[in-house]
Structures are given as C-alpha cells and as structure tokens.
Structure 1
Amino acid sequence: MSPISDAASGSAQKWALVTGASSGLGLEFSDILASQKVNLVLAARRLEPMERLASDLRRKHGIEVLIEPTDLAAPGAAAQLKSRLDDRSLRIDILVNNAGYGLHGNFLDTQLDRTVDMIQLNVTALTELSYIFGKDMAARGSGEILLVASLLALQPVPTYAAYAATKSYVLALGEALHDELRPHGVVVTTLCPGHTETGFDAAAGAPVSPMLRLLTMKPRPVAESGLHALSQRKASAIPGFKNNVVAFSNRLTPRSMQRATMKKVISP
C-alpha cells in the first residue's frame, strides 16, 4: 500500500482520525478540524456519506482526506484500522473517538445481540482505539484524544439503561486517562453532550419528548465545544448552559430522584 505524501505525513500538518465521521457530530468534528488545516482519516460504516464529505472537505479546505470504511463494532476492527494506517506510515496526532449509538426501551424488551453490539462499539472499540493510539502518542510525547460520552453518563437512565452505562464508562475512563497521560504530553478530554440534533433518536428508536426538545442543541456548537475544551486541555466538558444546569442539579439530588426525573424528561 502506498504511503501518504511526505508533506502530509511529516510534522508540517497534523492528521486526525475521526470515528463515526459519516454524519452528526462526526461530520461537524471533521469540518471544524479541516477548517484548521488538519488532514483527516474518516472512519465509519457507511461509505457513500464519507465519500461526499471527503470530497466537500478537500474542495473547501484543501486538505488530504483518507476514507476508511470500518465497522468498529466488529471484534478486532480497531487493531486492523491501526495496522492499515501504519502500513501508510501515517501518524495520528488527534483521535476523535466519536463512534457510538444508543438503544431505547426497557432493558428486557431490547434485543440482546443489539445491546452487545452497542457495548462493543461504545465501550470496547473506544477503549481499544484509546489504548493503541494513546500508546503511540505517549511514546512520542504529544497527542490529543477527544472521547464523546453523554450527559446521560451522569446518572442512571431508565429506558436507556445499557446506553447510559456505556457512557458512564466513557466518562470515567476519559477523566482517569486525562491524569494518567498528561505527564506523557497527551491531552485527553471527554465531551458530554446533551440531546443533539443528529440521527441518534431515529437509530435508537426513541421518541423525542417536549421537555427534551427544550434541551436540544445543534451539532455544530456541540462539536465546537468539545474541540475547544480539548485545546484548553480540560478533563471534560458539557456544552450549553441548559445542559450545565442539568449537570449541576444532578449533584444536589439523590440518585432515586435522578432516575425519576430522567423518566419524565425522556418519556413522550
């Protein structure tokens, strides 16, 4: 496999790997990074949306874009992706660990294989990517990792039981890695978005309640918030004033009340 051009793979221009890049937050992360003249590796399951995005980003920003159609929920997919990039002698400077999805419904009413697939993507693949790219970054003394969790990571959420649990894992992992990797020159930031206008609800099979609509943000400011927090070397970030009010209120209420509140917020 031929390597990326020397000018792009050298120190003059950074490369970022964005997972879940075909739509939603992944698309916005990619566009913002491209506007900063960061070359991109786009990884997602759907090829055609990535091809359209890559063409658009090359035209608008004059960067190099590599497309990697990848099902990160498949066992071993993260390591295979890393191997393909190594074959190209491509160094990743920024990892945006964004790929993931949710399942809505009572836990026992959801399909077990879908739940396991979700955990594989949201937890296992994210952990593997953080490890294998984080190890490279630590060895050379520089790098940035942005993990995408959720506001639902802050409390148990009936009807999103397994999904919220995966995001609690991401937040705990990310904040711990922030401290562990900082001495090695690697910044790790975890973004906890609230409800965002993406394809999440349709994919999760979830209705959107009137209360949830009041908290909804556009994806662009959410992505901007995450990348800004990363540039400021923050451990974690919650985008939006309303979401920060929700997070602060959580600290003042018992967990039983948190569960009851979330049921009301999510129920249509």
Structure 2
Amino acid sequence: MSGTPFPWALVTGASSGLGVEFARALAEKRINLVLAARRDGPMHELAEELRQRHGVEVEVEAIDLSEPGSAAQLLKRLDSRGLAPSILINNAAFGFSGDFIAEDSAKLRAMLQLDIVTLTELTQLFAQRMMAQGSGSILLVASLAGFQPIPYMAAYSAATAYILSLGEALNVELGPNVKVSVLCPGLMETEFLNVAGYTIPSPMIMRRTMLSPTDVAHQGLRALARNKPSFVAGKVNRIAAFGNRFSTRHLQARIAARTAR
C-alpha cells in the first residue's frame, strides 16, 4: 500500500454489473479500490481501466464468497497486504427463480451462504474495525424484492428482506460514527436476470422500471453519504415499495406470483 492520502473501499461482486459501476463511481471520487469476485479476468481489465482513467490504486482479490469461511479469508488477505478499507460495498449476490421444491439444494445453499451468511460476516468484521476506529461506511445491496414475499423466488426475496432488516437495524446500532445504508434496486440492465432465470413480464414493465446500473450505483453512494437507513432506486420502484404498506402480505404474494412464475 502506497502513501497516498486517498481512502480505500472494498467492492464485492466487482466482476460485472452493479459492482463494476460501484467501482467506477468510487474511482471518480479518487477512492482506491479492492475488487473482490470469483472471476479475476474481468476485474483485472476493470482495474487497469480505473488506474489509467483516474490514477487510483486498485487491488484484485479472486475469491468465491459463496464458500463458508470466505469472509474471514478475504479479510486475512487484505491484512497481509496492509489494506484497511474504510468503505465496504457489500454487493455480491445471486438469486434464481422457479418452484421452491424443485430447486437444487446445493445451489440454494450457495445462494444463502453468499446473500446472507458471507454478507453478515463481512459486515460484522468490518463494523468491528470501523467502530474501533470511530468511522466507516457500509452499503448493503438488497433488492426491491425484499419488500414483499415473492412466490417462485421465495428464498431470494426472503434473503433480501433479511438484508434490508439487518442494515436498517445497524444504521441505528452503529451510528452515527459508522454509516450503514441498504440499497434496494429493482430491475437492472445486468446479467443478474439471466443468472436468475427471470423473464420480464412485459415490454411496458421493462420501459417503466428498468434502471441502468450506473445510475443505481450513484444513487446508492449518495444514500450512503447521507446515512439513509435504506433507499429504493427509481421513482416507480419507490412508489411500489411504499404501496406495499397498504395491502396484506398475502395479497402481495398473490399478485407477485402472477409475474414471477
């Protein structure tokens, strides 16, 4: 680690989609970066782009965060390099759709490990150090799906509801010195939907709700800077999330089932 005065941020899930845009947005602010994801090729390409364009330092850590113990392993690697990020962007996640009883158990376990366990462990490990130092920022990426039960994406929507609840609680528990915010995107132009096997119900829904990951990343970082407990990206998505307050969760699930199957 060089003697630059710029802070460091860790971005998980930094090989594609929203993670890439978080890295670009942070580099624009002259924040040095640690990129973490399974695929190191795309991260090395991104790292070189950011070094050339913004003059920041970028380190790459290829790691499968869906493996048990990966959070502690990643922190150990950072310690060995003398890196102490003051910003954590907990973005790595995946989901899938289909009949719950037909889901592959190994795939389900990996999703829960990544989306819940590793996210929680990374958050705790970094929060401990940030509290000891008296400052820090943590952004947890959940989803609009966390605001309601979604049949045929039951485990994923439940996982994002967990992230939303965890982050909003930690915003109070760790504040004001350590900022914690939860970003809840809706549909985005990323490979996440392909991996999840999710089909957009109609072109109208796509036009009205689909967001660019670039815009979502900037909105998320602004919410974190303002220490918002949670933030839903996109006006239509915010209306949808707010509207859930006026219906029963059973009704929400019945409606969601029509579009998720």
TM-score band by shorter chain is over 0.9
> 1:266 deviation in Å?
3.0
Contact 2:8 2:31 survives alignment (8 Å): yes
Q: 1:235 aligns with which of 229, 248, 252?
A: 229
2:191 maps to: 199
Contact 1:20 1:98 survives alignment (8 Å): yes
Deviations 1:103-144 (A, max 9, x none): 110101110110010000000000010000110000000000
1:172 maps to: 165
2:248 maps to: 254
Q: 1:83 aligns with which of 76, 93, 113?
A: 76
Gaps of 5+ in 2: none
Contact 2:36 2:63 survives alignment (8 Å): yes
Aligned structure 1 segments of 4 or more residues deviating by more than 4 angstroms:
none
User: Which range is displaced more, 30-39 or 243-252?
Assistant: 243-252
Taking the TM superposition and a 5 Å limit, the aligned residue runs for 1:44-123 are 44-123=37-116
Secondary structure (helix, strand or coil) at the match of 1:188 reads strand
Secondary structure (helix, strand or coil) at the match of 1:99 reads coil
For 1:161 and 1:227, the matched residues in 2 are separated by 28
For 2:242 and 2:123, the matched residues in 1 are separated by 28
TM-score under structure 2 normalisation? 0.97
Gaps of 5+ in 1: none
Contact 1:95 1:133 survives alignment (8 Å): yes
Identical aligned pairs, as a percentage?
A: 47
Instruction: Specify the code of the residue in structure 2 equivalent to 1:69.
Output: A
TM-score under structure 1 normalisation? 0.94
Contact 1:19 1:26 survives alignment (8 Å): yes
Q: Quick check: 1:215 aligned with 2:209?
A: yes
Residue correspondences, number: 259
Secondary structure (helix, strand or coil) at the match of 1:27 reads helix
> 1:212 deviation in Å?
4.0
Q: 2:150 aligns with which of 150, 157, 173?
A: 157
For 2:186 and 2:76, the matched residues in 1 are separated by 34
Secondary structure (helix, strand or coil) at the match of 1:217 reads coil
Secondary structure (helix, strand or coil) at the match of 1:157 reads coil
Contact 2:95 2:111 survives alignment (8 Å): yes
Q: 2:30 aligns with which of 34, 37, 56?
A: 37
